[in-house]
Chain A
Amino acid sequence: MFRRIIGAPDYEGYLTHLAARHPEITPLSREAFARDALVRRYDRPGSRCC
């Protein structure tokens, strides 16, 4: 729960999601998933607050 609150990638949640919805897809490794999550979060103009 704390993971999601601070906006960290949730690898276990991702695995559960794939297993339930897309069993045919091979999931990314933990490392690849973490890298990918960072790119998604920071490599585009997004939310930043005062």
Chain B
Amino acid sequence: MLVWTLVGIAGAGALGFLALSRGEQVSAAWLLVAALCTYAIGYRFHSAFISARIFALDDARLTPAERLNDGRDFVPTNRWVVFGHHFAAIAGPGPLVGPTLAAQFGYLPGVLWIVVGVVLGGAVQDMVILCASIRRDGKSLGQMAKEEIGPVAGFTALVAVLGIMIVLIAVLALVVVNALKSSPWGTVTIGLTIPIAMLMGVYMRWLRPGRVLEATGIGIVLLVVALYAGRWVAEQPALAATFTLSGKTLALLVMAYGFAASVIPVWLLLAPRDYLSAFVKIGVVVALAIGILVALPPLQMPALTQFTDGTGPIFAGALFPFAFITIACGSISGFHALIASGTTPKLLERERDARFIGYGAMLMESFVAVMALIAACALTPGVYFAINAPAAALGPTVQTAAEAVAKWGFVVTPAELEQLAKQVGETSLLSRTGGAPSLAVGMAHLFSHSLGGSAAMALWYHFALMFEALFILTTLDAGTRVGRFMVQDLGRHLWEPFGRTGWMPAVFLSSAVIVAMWGHFLWQGVIDPLGGVNTLWPLFGISNQLLAAVALCVGTTIIVKMGKARHAWATLLPLAWLTLVTMSACLAKIFSAQPRLGFIAHAHMLQAARAAGTLPAGVKSAGDLARMVANDYLDAGVTAFFALSFVVVLADSAREWFAVISGAKAPRSTEVPFERRAAVAGD
């Protein structure tokens, strides 16, 4: 107990120091201590409470992996291996991009929400859904919503997941497009990862069937070759010009890639890319942690910036609720509920491993978010804003950018910006919105500090960019394919042959439908004079947090039906907070009277400009203006759709809770009955 008291004091002390320090530079070590101590306390006490009091996890109870062991999907697996697998499945670009963008408010809001949100919210959601699924033979979130709450909630959740998927793919595609725009090095390196994956696919299919580790080893070596090949291309003026692509061209290429990935066989592209990505993911997270521990960089960003009032250039909206919406995945991510009720529950060897895997892996994900925040805040604020603010705010040259940054109260000289771009092997770093380039600059700083010195900056920058793009394209291609199945599944009700997954016309049509849907949002982001990220990322954050709220509704319903309503505060607390945050954000995005925040106000501003016969800054033609107005209304409609879907699920759940609590309905758990494990030697 003494140890835990000391951990508590250390964590609270570090948080207090971070919160109160003003004016002087703070070392990243304080942030790490605050995060790690909070995680330790949360894991030791809160996850133990969920394990013992709510689910009464019992190692003597057979898990689905043991009862249904088929050697394929259901396989009892060592807890460390499941932890690695689960972490590789939940970790994506979200926790890297969100905290980077949210650094616009300063480091304090980010670090507070990342560590407090995960301990009381995100990790709770992941663990509760994992436990619920283990007790139901690995059922999915959608099935549980349908069976525990009702068919209306189940169907709404299904449609909402499809909508969220579309927004997610669009925003991630936009991040890649913005990172590769006018960058021949990046474009060639990322482009080469596609033939590399296909080569691995051929290797595993025909040359050495099923030898995944060999193929992955070859793939990693080839990734390094691709990194140098990109540099070589960028150094040849003629070739470099060929691969210097505009945002529009890149957007079309990404759409073509998504479509191809959805229709060609999975062994050729999807599966090898997944293996490569999972490997690189874990490797880079470990490397980043070592880099930060060795360098312990001072945080250049102030604790709070003046942009907490909502005037920030990177995205619109005040600290509440938009810091929470922007950080999203590193703290609470609705998508994890899909993983925690997907492959993972079919692998657990012992019930109590759910604590380490469900709660623990999410703490690790949160730690990735903390590291991304450190990498962003270790840049000088001038550089950070010059990379992340849209061109409309910065102007076209390093001189205008330096002036704009000076108006916000930060200092950066035009020479510094030019020098930095040169160091990382790019022509310009201005307005590279989306978070990926600034994170890559931050990582390159950290890595080159410990390895290779400033001569290696450019290689590290493009390595970091490649790693982020690899993550993102893995989500994009598999997401498109999953979306295609969902479209086919919904379309089946209209016309039966459309649902046949092996029938080529249906495959092509449904893939085209899903690519057109996310492609529309991507295109809208690419032509948006404000850069698109400031519209799409909040939309993504809102949808992700609403999915988390749906998962917490399912979790609460399950806890109440277990007859444990007195412990339901564990899920009700984060649910109430998420409801407050997401509903405020939805209302602000739809109805705010400020054109830079509210979709409808923005449409009105554009229409007023059209009526006056003028074009607002950055808008090129009357046709573009009409499209932007239509998109504003579409965005408002999508936001309203997400909000309404959630209200339906919440109302349906609340009805169940009151029925059980008031005694109108007996609390009946739908768990698979207890079955004792046979004692095995070596246990």
Contacts and interface: CB of A to CB of B under 8 A. Distances in A.
B474 to A, nearest CB: 9
Contact of B89 (A2, A13, A17, A49): A49
Contact of A40 (B72, B75, B168, B278): B72
B68 to A, nearest CB: 12
A1 B81 contact: yes
A10 B75 contact: yes
Contacts of A7: 85, 88-89, 274-275, 278, 343
Contacts of B274: 6-7
A6 B145 CA distance: 29
B69 interface: yes
A38 B81 contact: no
A6 B92 CA distance: 14
Interface in A29-44: 30-31, 33-38, 40-44
A4 B72 contact: no
B119 to A, nearest CB: 20
Contact of A5 (B71, B271, B278, B481): B278
Nearest to A1: B81
Contact of A17 (B69, B338, B479): B69
B71 A17 contact: yes
B296 interface: no
A49 B333 contact: yes
A5 B282 contact: yes
Given A48-B478, A49-B92, A50-B168, A6 B212 contact: yes
B209 A50 contact: no
Contact of A4 (B77, B336, B342, B489): B77
A9 B569 CA distance: 40
Nearest to B216: A6
Contacts of B72: 9, 14, 36-37, 40
A26 interface: no
B469 interface: no
A5 B212 contact: no
Interface string B309-353: 000000000000000000011000101101100110001000000
Which residue of B78, B89, B279 has the most chain A CB atoms within 10 A of its CB atom? Answer: B89
B238 to A, nearest CB: 38
Contacts of A40: 72-73
B391 interface: no
Contacts of A47: 89, 338-339, 342-343
B202 to A, nearest CB: 13
B280 to A, nearest CB: 10
B75 A13 contact: yes
Contacts of A2: 213, 279
A42 B540 CA distance: 24
B204 interface: yes
Interface in B433-453: none
B16 interface: no
A38 to B, nearest CB: 5
B210 A34 contact: yes
A5 B482 contact: no
Interface string B205-219: 100011011001000
Contacts of A45: 482, 485-486, 489
A11 to B, nearest CB: 6
Interface in A1-29: 1-11, 13-14, 16-18, 21
Given A6-B275, A34-B210, A50-B168, A44 B475 contact: no
B482 A46 contact: yes
B482 A50 contact: no
26 contacts: A1-B81, A2-B279, A4-B81, A4-B347, A5-B81, A5-B88, A6-B274, A6-B275, A7-B278, A8-B212, A9-B72, A10-B75, A11-B210, A13-B75, A14-B71, A17-B70, A17-B71, A34-B209, A38-B266, A38-B267, A42-B270, A43-B501, A47-B338, A49-B339, A50-B172, A50-B475
